[in-house]
C-alpha cells in the first residue's frame, strides 16, 4: 500500500467543508466543538486513561466540567474498571455512539453521504435563529458540491 502524502490529502480536499460539518454535528448532537475534536483525538488512542484525557485537553479552552459531561452524556465509557490492587486506574474508550458519529462524519467528508436537509431530522433546517439560517444555507451548498473530494 502506498503512503499518503500531503499533496494526496490536498487533492482529496478533506478539509474543504470540515468547518460546516463540525458545526452541524455540534448543533444536532448537542456536543461542543472542542469536545468533538478532543473525542476524535481520544478515539485515535483507542484506550486511554484520565491522564491521557488531561494531556489531550491542554490545547483546548479550560473546562473543568468536560470530563464529567462526556461521561454523563455517554461519549466516553469505562472499558476496564480499577480493582485497587492490580489495576490502579480505570481505562476508558470512546463509546459506540461516538464511533458511529465519527464514521458518519467521515462519510460526509468523503462525499459518500449528505447532511440531511429535512427539518424533521436536522434542527438547523428549522432556521429559527440567524446562525441556523446561515448554517442551513452552507449545508445546502455543501450538499450541492459534487466535487467534494474529486470522487475518490
Could you state, in order of their start, the residue ranges of all structural domains in the chain? 16-144
pLDDT at 49: 93
pLDDT range class, residue 57, cuts 50, 70, 90: very high
Q: What is the C-alpha to C-alpha distance for residues 136 and 152, in angstroms, rounded to an integer?
A: 26
Long-range contacts for 7-13 (Cβ within 8 Å, ≥24 apart)? 11/150, 12/110, 12/149, 12/150, 12/152, 13/147, 13/148, 13/149, 13/150
104 vs 121, more confident: 104
pLDDT at 72: 96
14 vs 55, more confident: 55
For the structural domain made of 16-144, what CATH number should be given? 1.10.10
Q: Is 73 exposed, middle or buried (0-12, 13-18, 19+ CB in 10 A)?
A: middle
pLDDT at 81: 85
The angle formed by the CA atoms of residues 72, 77 and 123, to the nearest 5 degrees, is 55
Q: What are phi and psi for residue 92, nearest 5 degrees? A: -115, 165
pLDDT of 52 strictly over 90: yes
User: 27 by DSSP, 3-state: which?
Assistant: helix
The pTM of this model reads 0.85
89 vs 40, more confident: 40
Mean pLDDT calculated for residue range 86-111 = 91
H or E stretch at 77: strand 76-80
Amino acid at each position: 500500500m502506498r503512503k499518503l502524502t500531503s499533496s494526496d490529502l490536498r487533492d482529496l480536499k478533506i478539509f474543504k467543508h470540515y468547518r460546516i460539518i463540525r458545526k452541524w454535528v455540534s448543533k444536532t448532537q448537542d456536543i461542543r466543538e472542542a469536545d468533538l475534536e478532543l473525542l476524535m483525538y481520544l478515539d485515535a488512542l483507542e484506550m486511554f486513561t484520565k491522564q491521557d484525557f488531561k494531556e489531550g485537553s491542554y490545547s483546548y479552552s479550560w473546562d473543568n466540567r468536560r470530563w464529567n459531561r462526556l461521561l454523563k452524556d455517554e461519549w466516553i465509557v469505562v472499558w476496564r474498571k480499577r480493582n485497587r490492587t492490580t489495576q490502579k486506574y480505570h481505562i476508558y474508550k470512546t463509546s459506540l455512539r461516538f464511533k458511529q458519529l465519527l464514521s458518519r462524519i467521515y462519510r460526509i467528508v468523503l462525499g459518500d453521504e449528505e447532511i440531511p436537509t429535512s427539518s424533521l431530522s436536522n434542527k438547523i433546517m428549522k432556521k429559527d435563529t440567524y446562525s441556523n439560517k446561515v448554517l442551513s444555507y452552507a449545508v445546502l451548498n455543501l450538499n450541492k458540491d459534487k466535487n467534494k473530494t474529486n470522487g475518490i
